[in-house]
Copies of this chain bind each other. A is one copy, B any other.
């Protein structure tokens, strides 16, 4: 049995439509705890996966978040006080990342829209629980986490200050997450306990099930943009910005080119803000031929 925490969690949390499986590669030698796990025992590993070490433990992982949120808050404040007519940063209906259009805001009130998991909050409780048990991502565990995790998830570095700055500038903070509508209260409690303030389901909190397109966030984004002028979005996966990035037919390289090479590239840091998450999600997939250009074939001579 291959473990696929990385991709499975990504599928659920980020609503990826990709079907390609990307089992993590066994880079590690045999060890006593791996051997033990094969015969039914699963002792706690010596340390969390490297991605968790970097993201949740290191100064560098914390700085990456704080730095992004400082830039975001500064951008949002500048736009909020600008006298220029505002435009949505949500793609206009029918437009695409390759040929984007953005609607005028008219006199809608200003808002900024964020994913929750590994964007506003670190899911430390659930991540520790699963990593200590060598667990695959388990939807039943995650469902309990959504219901009962309040107090065991923490605000990411820079988030509390950025939210305060945005609210002080008159910008409403809205969450659009693939946590399920059935667990709305648990997620409201989790966000409050992390110090992010009050979010209300259907007003400032949008969950999977709120629109008919399932794990896509596009339907909810459209509903939000119908009422609000969305001047910034933040997320750790491209699906937090547009579902088109999750199209099945996009290769790893195509997806990267679409996000960084086309007209949409100008939005990063100017309306669209990415948080680094090397722990899970559709960002983490691909074999050597996907990750490295074909002309990269060095060897020591």
Which residues on A are within 8 Å of B, measured CB to CB?
1-3, 6, 22-31, 33-35, 37-38, 44-64, 66-68, 70-71, 124-126, 128-129, 131-132, 134, 140-141, 144-145, 148-149, 152, 154, 157, 236-238, 245, 252, 255-256, 258-260, 265, 268-270, 273-274, 276-278, 281, 283-288, 290-293, 296-301
Is the CB–CB distance between A126 and B46 below 8 Å? no
22 contacts between A and B (CB under 8 A): A6-B50, A29-B37, A30-B30, A48-B286, A51-B51, A51-B54, A54-B283, A56-B292, A57-B291, A58-B283, A58-B286, A59-B283, A60-B236, A60-B274, A63-B268, A70-B268, A71-B71, A124-B292, A124-B296, A148-B298, A152-B297, A276-B276
Query: Residue of B at shortest CB range from A138?
Result: B300
Interfacial chain B residues near A46, Cβ < 8 Å? 23, 25, 287
Within the assembled complex, what's the spacing in Å between the Cα atoms of A59 and B134?
28
Contacts of A64 in B (CB 8 A): 64, 274, 276
Contact yes or no, B48 A298, CB < 8 A: no
Partner of A141 from the list B67, B265, B297, B300 (CB cut-off 8 Å) is B300
Q: Is the CB of A28 within 8 A of B30?
A: no
Query: Could you tell me if B283 and A60 are in contact, using CB atoms closer than 8 angstroms?
Result: yes
Interface centre among A26, A132, A256 (most CB of B within 10 A): A26
Please name the residue on chain B nearest to A252 by beta carbon: B57
Chain B proximity of A293: nearest CB distance (Å): 7
* 10 A-B pairs with least C-beta separation: A125-B298, A57-B291, A144-B300, A278-B278, A58-B283, A59-B259, A25-B45, A60-B283, A152-B298, A276-B276
Q: List, in ascending order, chain B residues with CB within 8 A of A291's CB.
A: 47-48, 52-53, 56-57
Tell whether, in the assembled complex, residue B57 and residue A290 are in contact, meaning their CB atoms are under 8 Å apart: yes
